[in-house]
Structures are given as C-alpha cells and as structure tokens.
Amino acid sequence: MMPFSELIRNATARNKSHLCVGLDPDPEKFPDHLSKDINGARTFVESIIDSTSDLVCCYKPNCGFFEQFGWEGVQMLEELRSMIPAHIPMLLDAKRSDIGNTATAYAKSAFDVIRADAITVNPLLGRDSIEPFTIYKSKGVFLLALTSNPGAADFQLPNDLHYQVCDFASSMATNCPEVALVAGATRPDDLREIRERFPNGLILVPGVGSQGGELEETIKAGSRHDDLGLIINVSRAVLYASSGKDFAEAARDAASHFREQINNAISATA
C-alpha cells in the first residue's frame, strides 16, 4: 500500500495544489435550499467534493460533524472514502487518544472501517497511545503539536509542550516515517521553531482563511529545506463561500483562489 506521504506528493503534483479542504458539514451553515438532516449533509458534501476535487491535495473530514447526525452520519463517514476520488488522500480529523486496546480499536475504526489514509491523534497519553496507529505502516499519523485555537495558550504554550511533541515526533520518525504533525498558521514564530525541531516530516497547517493565518508567513516559517512539506487546510472559507444555490460553484472559486494564493506565496518565498 502506498505511504501517505507519497499519496500526498502524487496528488499535489497532479492538481498543482497544497490545499487541503476540510469536510465539516454544519447544518446551521447549509444553504437555505438544503435540508438540515443527513440528506442535506450528503448533498452538501458530495457537491463540495465534485466541485473541488481537481483543486486539492487532500480532504479532511472531521468526525464530529458526521457523528452529530447519529448512525446515519457514521454510515456516511464510512462511505466517504468511496465519494472521494481514489487518487486524493483522506485525512480523518478525529484527534483520537487512549491507551492499550482502546487505541487499537480507534485505529481499526479509522483505517479498516472508515479506510482513511491518515488520522489526527492527541499525543498527551504518550507512546503507548500512539503506537497502535503506527502499526499501520503506510498510514499518516498526525500528532497535535500546536493547534490554531485561542485555547492553545492554556496548556500547549506555557511549558513548551508543543516543542516536546515535536521532539517526540522526531524521535519516532526513524521507525515510523509516516508520523507527522499538526501546527497552526496563527503563530508563525512557533511554526518556524517546530519545523527546525521536525525538519523532515509533513505538517498539517490549520488556521488559514477564517482564522486569519497569513500564507506567506506560514510558508516561510514551515517549509522544509527541499520542498514545502506543508498541507495547508482551509475549511469554512471554502465550504461556506455562499449560502445560495451556487454554493458548490462558490466553493470551487474559493478553493481555486486559495490554491493560487498558496502557489503564489511559494513562488514569492522561493
């Protein structure tokens, strides 16, 4: 099975894109003509995928936005890998964390049932909570290092916890090359330090778009020596670019805009 990092590399080359679009179906933000139930969610998500699949390197469904619809939402999450074109990887934003058999069950759910190509994991329970995910050698395992929300200042920043996660990920990378990090775009100085401590792996970067992260600063701070090494996530600014019947077309325009901005910023910082 092809490693996640290679899937990303191939999708990036094919679509000339480092853009990851989050799939977060929020019924309160659906266009008015769509129902607020699972049927509306399915139409919404399928339309977003159909309109943007040639503009992205990855899709990132967030489990919570599907689970809120009950068993039908979980079923849709299981079907999502078949909705996404096979050449585009799917990164499951689950932030799972537990020990022993529970972590093993989470890994089986993500990789055997949902068939995700990668997953986000909360590393705070330590190595034994991460290893069940890394047993799946080809799958990406993204450890939360520095999130883009204001609450990152409560625990992640005061004691340099985010840097400890980076150092831990680097120590794992020799035996687990698909271990990666999540680090937000809202703190470019911290992102720069994170890249220095984690020089070779992929970094998923949320916080661009609605949360205000600056692209050029992000790319300067987070790029690897030989290539970008960043997966830049945008969710709401693409998904909810329009509340009308043209929502899919508007999402396409927004995704195209972000892809162009990212590529221009890469060229400007080369």
The residue from 36, 95, 139, 245 that is catalytic is 95
The yes-or-no answer on residue 95 being catalytic is yes
pLDDT of residue 212: 47
Tokens of 23: 């799939």
Q: Quick one: CA torsion of 19, 23, 24, 28, rounded to 10 degrees?
A: 100
Q: How far apart are CA 196 and CA 28, in angstroms?
A: 40
What is the residue extent of each domain of the chain?
4-269
pLDDT digits (tens, 9 = 90+) for 42-88: 999 999 999 999 999 999 999 999 999 999 999 999 999 999 999 99
* Residue 49 φ then ψ, to 5°: -60, -45
Inform me whether the pLDDT recorded for 237 exceeds 60. yes
Inform me whether the pLDDT recorded for 159 exceeds 80. yes
Quick check: 106 and 132 in contact, CB under 8 A?
Answer: yes
pLDDT of residue 216: 86
For every residue of 205-261, DSSP letters joined together read E--BSTT-B-HHHHHHHH--SSS--EEEEE-HHHHTS-SSTTHHHHHHHHHHHHHHH
Q: Which CATH architecture best describes the domain 4-269?
A: Alpha-Beta Barrel (3.20)
Most confident option among 35-44, 173-182, 214-223, 258-267: 35-44
pLDDT digits (tens, 9 = 90+) for 16-32: 999 999 999 999 999 99
| Furthest CA-CA distance within the chain | 51
Q: How far apart are CA 186 and CA 99, in angstroms?
A: 31
Report pTM.
0.95
pLDDT of residue 210: 52
pLDDT of residue 81: 97
Most confident option among 209-223, 239-253, 254-268: 239-253
pLDDT digits (tens, 9 = 90+) for 186-223: 888 899 999 999 999 999 999 775 544 588 888 989 99
- Give the 3-state secondary structure of residue 29: helix
Mean pLDDT of the 231-237 span: 94
Distance of CA 73 to the CA centre of its chain: 19
Summary mean pLDDT of the chain: 93
